[in-house]
């Protein structure tokens, strides 16, 4: 079984249920992006769904299409389709993410270069101010898959105070820095809806505790608490009876599942009723073993 994205409701219509090529190790198998959505077509490279004032979509590379060419094409279509809207969240599933690309760089770095250039072409040199929450993990699927959520409501992008914003990483991390914010909060007053990007064991721009899963989990939990506070969610990613949350835990080594589940259950962030998906995936840095993202809706302000 693999992770699926659903467009249209908890069960998802047959044409609104799409896989991302990530093995499900445990927990919830489905990420619901839009309820009561309707398919909008979109063309050969980008399938779109709409619901209320929101737009979601999925783009995939073609067979044999080079990674940077596919990234530029998909992001060009995505940014064109969302013109006039605010981007809330983007998920990227990159084939062989730690593998070698041309020019002696990794596939992830090549993907980041093409993504950054696509944003710059579409939004101009000030594009980092509008970058949304995002994640990029490896997939066994040979196709690049990009999933997004956007809408008319205002988006406030947030950063972790102990991390360098990804779009300001130094050149040692690649020819163009990653293009995402650490979190995005949707709307203004009222209950909070927030999307926390893929979060890992990074302080400043350096990896903490390379290849040590237990230590990386501890650092990741601290980073989640810090970005939670930056989003106005307190230090536990929200509270209140109406609060709904979905954690996705990406693990490089499936054998770390029991450790990750135990540590997440004991760290104080998880509550009864939370949805959790444990997924097998390579992480964007070869020395990272775990990455965690969270989607929050209906949370009380702290």
* 200 and 220 Cβ atoms separated by less than 8 Å: yes
29 alpha-carbon distance from chain centroid: 16
201 pLDDT higher than 70 = yes
Higher pLDDT, 240 or 10: 240
**How far apart are the C-alpha atoms of 222 and 216, rounded to whole Å?**
10
pTM score of the predicted model:
0.96
Range of the domain at 192: 2-299
15 pLDDT higher than 60 = no
pLDDT above 70 coverage of the chain, percent: 97
Would you call 300 a catalytic residue per the annotation?
no
Q: What is the CATH number of the domain that holds 26?
A: 3.30.1330.40
**How far apart are the C-alpha atoms of 189 and 86, rounded to whole Å?**
17
**How far apart are the C-alpha atoms of 135 and 197, rounded to whole Å?**
6
Counting the structural domains of the chain, the total is 1
* 71 and 118 Cβ atoms separated by less than 8 Å: yes
Q: pLDDT by residue (tens digit) across 215-239?
A: 999 999 999 999 999 999 999 999 8
pLDDT at residue 14 in the model: 42
- By mean pLDDT, which of 31-45, 174-188, 243-257 is the weakest? 31-45
Local confidence band at 35 (pLDDT 50, 70, 90 cut-offs): confident
Higher pLDDT, 243 or 188: 243
Tell me the three state secondary structure of residue 208.
coil
Q: Please tell me which residue in 4, 68, 291, 293 is annotated as part of the active site.
A: 291
pLDDT at residue 17 in the model: 61
pLDDT above 90 coverage of the chain, percent: 82
**How far apart are the C-alpha atoms of 148 and 243, rounded to whole Å?**
22
292 pLDDT higher than 80 = yes
Mean pLDDT of the region 138-152 = 95
Q: Which of 131, 249, 139, 256 is nearest to 200 (CA)?
A: 249
């Amino acid at each position: 079984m693999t992770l699926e994205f659903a467009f249209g409701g908890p069960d998802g219509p047959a044409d609104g249920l799409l896989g991302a090529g990530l093995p499900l190790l445990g927990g919830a198998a489905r990420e619901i992006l839009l309820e009561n959505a309707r398919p909008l077509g979109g063309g050969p490279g980008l399938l779109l769904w709409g619901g209320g004032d929101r737009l979601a979509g999925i783009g995939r590379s073609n067979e044999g299409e080079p990674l940077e060419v596919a990234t530029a094409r998909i992001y060009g279509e995505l940014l064109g389709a969302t013109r006039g809207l605010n981007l809330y969240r983007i998920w990227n599933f990159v084939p062989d993410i730690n593998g070698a690309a041309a020019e002696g760089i990794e596939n992830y770095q090549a993907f980041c270069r093409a993504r950054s250039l696509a944003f710059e072409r579409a939004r101009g040199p000030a594009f980092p101010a509008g970058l949304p929450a995002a994640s990029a993990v490896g997939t066994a699927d040979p196709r690049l898959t990009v999933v997004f959520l956007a809408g008319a409501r205002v988006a406030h992008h947030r950063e972790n105070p102990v991390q360098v914003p990804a779009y300001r990483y130094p050149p040692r991390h690649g020819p163009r820095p990653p293009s995402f914010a650490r979190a995005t909060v949707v709307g203004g007053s009222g209950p909070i809806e927030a999307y926390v990007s893929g979060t890992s064991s990074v302080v400043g721009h350096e990896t903490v505790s390379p290849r040590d899963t237990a230590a990386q989990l501890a650092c990741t939990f601290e980073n989640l608490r810090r970005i939670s506070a930056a989003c106005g969610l307190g230090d536990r990613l929200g509270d209140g009876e109406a609060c709904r949350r979905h954690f996705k835990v990406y693990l490089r080594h499936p054998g770390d599942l029991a450790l990750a589940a135990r540590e997440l259950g004991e760290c104080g962030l998880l509550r009864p009723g939370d949805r959790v998906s444990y997924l097998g995936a390579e992480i964007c840095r070869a020395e990272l073993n775990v990455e965690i993202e969270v989607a929050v809706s209906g949370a009380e302000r702290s």
